[in-house]
Amino acid sequence: MRIISYNVNGIRAAVKKGFFDWLKTNPADIICLQETKATKDDVDLKQLEALGFHHYWYSAQKKGYSGVAVFTKTKPDNVLYGNGHTASDDEGRVLQLDFGDVRLINAYFPSGTSGDERQQFKYLWLDELQRYLDDLKKKHPKLILCGDYNIAHQEIDIHDPKGNKKSSGFLPEERAWMTKFLESGWIDTFREFHPEQHRYSWWSQRFPSVRLNNKGWRIDYINVTAPLKKQLIDAEIYPDIKHSDHCPVYLDIKI
C-alpha cells in the first residue's frame, strides 16, 4: 500500500494547477491532504469518485482556512473526525481512519509564523497531541501519523540551519519536541531509507528561485510506531510535483 501526505495549500488552487490530472496517474492508494482551505462542496466530487476514491473531509469552522481530507481506494473500517481537543477540532486539523489493526492519522500541525500567540498555540497543540498519541498507542499500537508537521527536525532537514535558528519551524523547543516524540516510539520513515542531505518538501513562495535552487525545508512526514517497522518497504519525496509550495511525500508499507 502506498500512502501519500501532501499539503496542497488550498485544494481549489491545486485543482487549477492540474491536481486531478495528477490523481489520474494513480500516484497512491491513500492520499492524505492538509490545508485544504475548503469543504467537500467546493470540489468536483464526481471527478474524484470516478477515479475510485472514497473521500473524507474535516474542514475548519472558519471558511477558507486549514482543513484536512483523505482520499482512499480502500474503504476504511472506521473514520474518526478530530481528536477531542476543541481548539484543534475547530480548525479541522486531525482526521483518523482505521484499516484493520492499523490506524492512519492525518494531521495538519499549526504554524507559528504569524506571531507569538500562534506560536504558543502550537506548543500547546504539540503537547496535547503527544498525550493523545501516548494514550492511543495503548489501544492501537500500530499507528501511522502523516501530515505537515511545520517542524524541520534536524539541521539536515533545512537548507540554512544557521540563518533559521530563530525561525518558527526550526526553534529549539520545536526540535526538542520532535526529538522527544521520535524517542517515544515513533520512526521517521523517510530517514529510514534516506540519510542524505538536501531533501526537502517545502519551499518559500516569496522568491521563485528558492524552489529552483532547492533552498527548502523538510516539514512533511509520514511516521509510524515501532510495531510497524518491519512492514516498511520504501519512502520518498516527490519534489517535481508542483501544485503547492509543498510537494507530496510517500510511504510504501505492507498492511
Dist. CA 54–CA 52, nearest whole Å: 7
Q: How far apart are CA 32 and CA 4, in angstroms?
A: 6
Contacts 24+ apart (CB under 8 A), 162-165: none
Q: Are 130 and 180 in contact (CB under 8 A)?
A: yes
Q: Are 221 and 144 in contact (CB under 8 A)?
A: no
- CA pair distance 8, 5, nearest whole angstrom: 9
C-alpha cell, 42:
467546493
Instruction: Provide the 10 A C-beta neighbour count for residue 232.
Output: 17
Query: Degrees (nearest 5) of the Cα angle 40, 42, 48?
Result: 60
**Start-end of H helices in the chain:** 11-16, 19-23, 45-50, 86-90, 116-139, 172-183, 189-193, 209-212
Q: What angle do CA 172, 167, 35 make, to 5 degrees?
A: 105
Distance CA 250, CA 50 (A): 23
Q: Residues with catalytic annotation?
A: 108, 148
